[in-house]
Amino acid sequence: MDFKTSVLRGIGWTTIANIGSHLLSLATTMVLARLLMPAEFGLVAMVLVFTHFAKMLADFGLAPAIVQAEDISEEQLSSLFWLNLGLGFLLCGLAILAAPLIAAFYGESDLVALTYGLAVVFVLGSLGIVPSALIRKQMRFRLYSIITLVSVVIASAAAIGAAVYGLGPWALVAEAMIRAMIASGLYLAYGRWRPRMRFNFSSIVPMLRYGAGYVGYQIINYWAKHIDNLLVGKLLGSDALGFYNEAYKIMRMPVTEVIGSLTGVMFPALSSIQNDIERCKQVYLTTMSLVSLATFPMAIGILVLAEPLILTFLGSQWMPAVPILQILAITGVSSTFSNPTGWIYQSQGRTDIMFWWGLGGSGTLIVGIVIGAFFMDLHAIAAGYTIAHLLLLVPSVMIPGRLIGMGFLEVFAATRGALACAVAMGLMLAGLYYGALHTLPAPAAVAIAIPTGLAFYIVLLRVFGIEGWTEVSRFLWSQWKKFTTTSEDDE
């Protein structure tokens, strides 16, 4: 199978898995939002600020190091497995010891037991780090996608069952535990690899150097993106954090649904051609033109339709999240430019530069959030985050772009057509919703607005011959002809 076919099939499978898993998660959230109180979501979000951070340390950047390495031995793989498992147990123990401190920080005694439960996820997740990285390195995206979907389905069912049974915030803890357990078990069972009783520290030192730069960046970036949750929970309480956290998750949908789907494919794909700089640049620009087709209309659609979306998927008790979502949704556009740049740093093996960018870029985000926190208001915190994100837009592309001879204007040129069409669609949707649909029940308004906006957007793409859309149309048409030709031959 050639490079292009492997990448396209990988994108297809990971897109199915990512969209499917997020639709399942969204459906689960819709159910849980009606079974649990916002404060219960907020309690778990308080703990997750710390446990998600510790989860990055359990990996220590070694999974991407496995994917990026051109050659890797069995001894190195086994050594990495036992190292990850040891880190998982270490972090589990540290989380248990820190539980009373976390509860004291927020003034919520219930957080002690919740932290104990989430601590177990470190051990469960560490078992699947090496086999899942190998599956991605081998570009076996069909298997990776199926495991993702199966683990989400089982975990979602368990969470809803726990909520119905009356376990409150423990339903969310159960979801995290069961998802990690099922995923790790399936990676080990179907990954065609088993750890051996070998450990040679010196053999994995080069990977630890790569991982150190990567995890250093992740740590800084993590706190830049979660210090808002920390400050909201500390200053404004669990109710406010529940509203803010759910708005933030919806805002991140364009990134998680599209860019998140592609990361699992583009990182190993670019790593496989890392020595051909010109080819890396062309593949990246082509991918960005395709990414923007989806992320721009999603981000602008969320901005315009924030109110009916919140009412439809979460319920009227979540209305305070609407203005927060509208402010944060702007970063859905800027994230289209900044988030994929991690593919460049990692595939080129320059996680050291990635780390230093994290210090400056993430520091700017933290300053913006802290300034907003001085006003003791959710809207100000969201605005501080958004303004800082926009200030970082150009340098976030320019710095990694130099590694493959690419400038910001080249990326903008590849995406400007989709951006213009998405803005026009947003204006049309605003007129449609606030002029007529706002009087309808929220689900009906969403059901009318989304397909109308999508149809209008596609017409614009076609009329103006936007480059990315032309590529997608040709590919879909070629696949349709291949399918129909096969069907006719079969007859």
pLDDT at 431 exceeding the cut of 50: yes
pLDDT at 83 exceeding the cut of 70: yes
Q: How far is CA 233 from CA 105, 209, 388, in A?
A: 10, 35, 21
Question: Percentage of the chain with pLDDT > 70?
Answer: 88
CB 448 within 8 A of CB 314: no
Helix (H), strand (E), coil (C) string for the chain:
CCHHHHHHHHHHHHHHHHHHHHHHHHHHHHHHHHHCCHHHHHHHHHHHHHHHHHHHHHHCCHHHHHHHCCCCCHHHHHHHHHHHHHHHHHHHHHHHHHHHHHHHHHCCCCHHHHHHHHHHHHHHHHCCHHHHHHHHHCCCHHHHHHHHHHHHHHHHHHHHHHHHCCCCCHHHHHHHHHHHHHHHHHHHHHCCCCCCCCCCHHHHHHHHHHHHHHHHHHHHHHHHHHHHHHHHHHHHCHHHHHHHHHHHHHHCHHHHHHHHHHHHHHHHHHHHCCCCHHHHHHHHHHHHHHHHHHHHHHHHHHHHCHHHHHHHHCCHHHCCHHHHHHHHCCHHHHHHHHHHHHHHHHHCCCHHHHHHHHHHHHHHHHHHHHHHHCCCCHHHHHHHHHHHHHHCHHHHHHHHHHHHCCCHHHHHHHHHHHHHHHHHHHHHHHHHHHHCHHHCCHHHHHHHHHHHHHHHHHHHHHHCCCHHHHHHHHHHHHHHHHHHHHHHHHC
pLDDT score, position 475: 56
- Span 227-242, pLDDT tens digits: 777 778 777 777 787 7
Residue 465, SS3? coil
- Span 8-38, pLDDT tens digits: 677 777 777 777 777 787 788 778 777 777 7
Name the phi and psi angles at 263, rounded to 5: -60, -45
CB 425 within 8 A of CB 300: yes
Instruction: Give the other-Cβ count within 10 Å of 94's Cβ.
Output: 14
Could you give the CA distance from residue 382 to residue 388 in angstroms, rounded to a whole number?
A: 10
Please state the rounded mean pLDDT for residues 357-362. Answer: 81
Could you give the CA distance from residue 428 to residue 431 in angstroms, rounded to a whole number?
A: 5
Could you give the CA distance from residue 280 to residue 68 in angstroms, rounded to a whole number?
A: 14
Instruction: Give the other-Cβ count within 10 Å of 47's Cβ.
Output: 28
Rounded to the nearest 10 degrees, what angle do helices 277-304 and 260-272 cross at?
Answer: 180
Q: Which residue has the higher pLDDT, 297 or 56?
A: 297
Q: Which residue has the higher pLDDT, 383 or 468?
A: 383
End-to-end CA gap in the chain: 27
User: Amino acid letter at 336?
Assistant: T
Q: Tell me how many degrees the CA angle 112-90-44 measures, rounded to the nearest 5.
A: 30
Point out the least confidently predicted range of 251-255, 297-301, 320-324, 338-342. 251-255
Q: Which residue has the higher pLDDT, 358 or 394?
A: 394
Residue 485, SS3? helix
Q: Output the pTM of the full model.
A: 0.69
